[in-house]
């Protein structure tokens, strides 16, 4: 038996719609695993399937989604075949999630106290006054000053950074084994971003919690997560230890992503940053063969035939060998 907390094998997500007779194939054959206490960074182009993968794991993707997998195991549970009641216990209990915009995730009409205490009571068998004390402890733990007074606040009385700290307090209130943080700092000021990520990292280490951190920022990944996976057009295209992948990307898409960072490659003074030409193909225009082939500078004839399998952490027939700075 695997000692991983999460084991995903060949996860596929389709969306049915009245407009298209064929369902949209949004995530293809995604396999990955996560150990207890490990942080996994997930990066990739907008629309590549990062969020829907997480929503599928939480069981909150909606009725239009069809999810299949050879394996979708979390802490011994088969996530795709749980009864709604069991799933509810895991969702928000053993797996918690924080989103991009804390202001829209919090209910504007309810106090911080009501929202945290309600979450705790839904998952833990403790009294209301114990739950309130736990809420105060949690707010202190996520760095909110005067936590007792803050419990009385409504979300509009909080800054963005404070609201995200409240969301994190709610997320960790049930002692989750896995925290999914989907771009948790995108809506925040640059100065607050680092504080929030440092807080998540310290909670991961202190609570031996696993974290899936979705971000557009490769700098964040290299600073905070041990392993990274890169998604493109619904597929995992490269995965590995962050320190190796950042220095030595093998997939041309990863290479393009990394070389568009300031200082990554030599360039003439004042010349523009490198960028990847073209856009991700729409679902109905997905190419045959490698999904990246219409944009790839290293494309060859064999890239346009059949399905390209992931091999040694890279989904590419002609992986790159050049190291970045
Ligand atoms: N309910 C739905 N019905 C049809 N398509 C959907 C549905 N939800 C998501 N999609 C599509 O699935 C694809 C993947 O979406 P997802 O939100 O996971 O992207 P993402 O990688 O998180 O992007 P971003 O970086 O912009 O957050 C997108 O093309 C999106 O339009
Ligand atoms: S398989 Fe071919 S087209 Fe796809 S990324 Fe590799 S070299 Fe480029
Ligand atoms: Mg997303």
2-60 pLDDT, tens per residue? 789 999 999 999 999 888 788 899 999 999 999 999 999 999 988 999 999 999 999 99
pTM greater than 0.85: yes
Number of the ligand 2 atom closest to the C-alpha atom of 303: 2
**Residue 303 in contact with ligand 2 by CB distance below 6 A:** yes
Is any ligand 2 atom within 6 A of the Cβ of residue 291? no
Q: Decide: 89 in ligand 2 pocket, CB within 6 A.
A: no
pLDDT digits (tens, 9 = 90+) for 115-138: 999 999 998 999 999 999 999 999
Using CA atoms in the order 230, 231, 237, 239, what is the torsion angle rounded to 10 degrees? 30
Ligand 3 mean position, distance from CA 44 (Å): 9
- Centre of ligand 3 to C-alpha 31, Å, is 18
What secondary structure letter does DSSP report for 151?
T
Kindly state if the Cβ of 299 falls inside 6 Å of ligand 2: yes
- Beta strands 71-74; 6-15: pairing state: antiparallel
Protein residue with its CA nearest to atom 7 in ligand 1 = 15
Please name the residue whose Cα sits nearest to atom 25 of ligand 1: 46
**What per-residue confidence (pLDDT) applies to 163?**
93
Ligand 2 centroid–CA 286 distance in Å is 14
Q: Whose CA is nearest to atom 29 of ligand 1?
A: 47
**Ligand 2 centroid to residue 271 C-alpha, Å:** 27
44, 51, 213, 236, best to mutate for ligand 1 pocket (most atoms within 8 Å of CB): 51
Q: What are phi and psi of 262, to 5 degrees?
A: -55, 135
Of residues 70, 61, 91, 59, the one with CA closest to residue 28 = 70
Radius of gyration of the chain (CA): 21
Q: At a CB cut-off of 8 Å and minimum separation 6, what does 313 contact?
A: 238, 239, 240, 250
The two tokens of residue 137 are 């402890």
> Separation of 325 CA from ligand 3 center, angstroms?
29
φ/ψ of residue 12, rounded to 5: -125, 135
Q: Is the CB of 26 under 6 A from ligand 1?
A: yes
Pairing outcome for strands 210-214 and 227-232: unpaired
- Token pair, residue 67, equals 């999810």
Helix axis angle, 128-141 to 160-172, nearest 10°: 130
pLDDT in tens, 199-249: 999 999 999 999 999 998 888 999 999 999 999 999 999 999 999 999 999
Structure confidence by residue, pLDDT tens digits, 157-214: 999 999 999 999 999 999 999 999 999 988 888 888 899 999 999 999 999 999 999 9
């Amino acid at each position: 038996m695997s000692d991983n907390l999460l084991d995903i094998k060949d996860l596929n997500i389709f969306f049915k719609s009245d407009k298209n007779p064929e369902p949209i194939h949004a995530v293809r054959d995604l396999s990955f695993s996560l150990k207890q206490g490990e942080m996994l960074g997930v990066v990739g182009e907008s629309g590549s399937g990062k969020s829907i993968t997480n929503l599928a794991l939480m069981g909150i993707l909606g009725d239009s989604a069809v999810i299949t997998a050879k394996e979708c195991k979390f802490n011994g549970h088969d996530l795709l075949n749980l009864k709604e009641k069991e799933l509810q216990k895991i969702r928000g209990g053993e797996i918690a999630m924080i989103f991009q915009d804390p202001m829209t995730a919090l209910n504007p009409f309810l106090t911080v106290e009501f929202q945290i205490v309600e979450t705790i009571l839904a998952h833990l068998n403790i009294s209301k006054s114990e739950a309130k004390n736990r809420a105060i402890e949690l707010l202190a733990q996520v760095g909110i000053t005067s936590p007792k007074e803050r419990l009385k606040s409504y979300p509009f009385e909080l800054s963005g950074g404070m609201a995200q700290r409240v969301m994190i307090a709610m997320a960790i209130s049930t002692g989750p084994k896995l925290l999914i943080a989907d771009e948790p700092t995108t809506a925040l000021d640059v100065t607050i971003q680092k504080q929030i990520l440092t807080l998540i990292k310290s909670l991961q280490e202190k609570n031996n919690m696993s974290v899936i951190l979705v971000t557009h920022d490769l700098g964040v990944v290299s600073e905070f997560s041990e392993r990274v996976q890169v998604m493109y057009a619904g597929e995992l295209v490269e995965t590995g230890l962050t320190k190796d992948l950042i220095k030595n990307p093998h997939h041309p898409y990863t290479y393009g992503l990394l070389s568009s960072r300031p200082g990554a490659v030599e360039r003439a003074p004042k010349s523009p940053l490198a960028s990847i030409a073209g856009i991700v193909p729409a679902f109905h225009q997905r190419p045959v063969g490698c999904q990246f082939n219409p944009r790839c500078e290293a494309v060859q004839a064999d890239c346009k035939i059949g399905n390209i399998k992931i091999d040694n952490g890279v989904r590419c027939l002609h992986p790159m060998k050049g190291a970045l700075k």
